[in-house]
Amino acid sequence: MPDMTPIAAPDWAAPFEREVDGAFGEEEALRVIRHHDEVMGVVQEAVRSYVAANCAADGRLTGQYYVAREAYWAVDEPWFERAGRKREHRFSVMVHCLGMFELAGGRRSDLDHLGLEVHFSWYVETGEFKFHGGVDSSSRFKFDLTAGHLPLRHRLGWPALLDRTAKSPSPEPSP
């Protein structure tokens, strides 16, 4: 299993995204960003731990990943006050782990193979963040690249949504 190392986003990757929900606030996001190096250290450990525990037999991982997205949001439900809870501030860092794939003509190429989203809590009162161990993964992409291109439905990771033979979910009934 390769050691996981952060790299700059490849030229072919989508541009980095930073999404800040209005309820979280731009100023609060800037407070979190001041801890960037510390957060990235936790992200690196979370990626290494996840890969070691779940992907040891995956021969495609190159050992490299890049940060694709950061998201900042607040969780504030109407029932929180009745339950003695208050608004919770959360953020996550989405990384894409690279995998090596065989392309048409015997060429090899690294592509996004595994997406991992590392979740944090942000404590406004103290200006501290905490990682509780939450890491979500997107499905590992499985490709047949004999045609020499990456099928869109696999690139997005949602084959059922774009597969015309898949059944669509039933719409929610109207009130």
Structure confidence by residue, pLDDT tens digits, 15-74: 999 999 999 999 999 999 999 999 999 999 999 999 998 887 667 888 999 999 999 999
Whether 169 is in a domain gets the answer no
pLDDT at res. 125: 94
Within 8 A by CB and 6+ apart from 141, the residues are 99, 111, 112, 113, 114, 154, 155, 157
pLDDT at res. 166: 33
Q: Does 160 have pLDDT greater than 50?
A: no
Whether 111 is in a domain gets the answer yes
Please tell me the total number of residues recorded for the chain in this structure.
175
Whether 76 is in a domain gets the answer yes
CB-based burial, 141-169: b 16+ in 10 Å, e otherwise: bebebeeeebeeebeeeeeeeeeeeeeee
- Tally of domains within the chain: 1
Whether 64 is in a domain gets the answer yes
pLDDT at res. 89: 95
Q: Does 167 have pLDDT greater than 50?
A: no
Whether 167 is in a domain gets the answer no
Q: Taking a C-beta distance cutoff of 8 angstroms, is the pair 137, 114 a contact?
A: yes
Whether 174 is in a domain gets the answer no
Which residue range(s) make up the domain with 67? 5-162
- Strand 5-6 relative to strand 61-75: parallel, antiparallel, unpaired? parallel
pLDDT at res. 55: 83
Predicted TM-score (pTM) of this structure? 0.74
Whether 48 is in a domain gets the answer yes
Q: Taking a C-beta distance cutoff of 8 angstroms, is the pair 95, 115 a contact?
A: yes
Distance CA 61, CA 56 (A): 9
Distance CA 147, CA 139 (A): 22
Whether 120 is in a domain gets the answer yes
Is 162 or 129 the better-scoring residue by pLDDT?
A: 129
DSSP 8-state assignment for residue 174: P
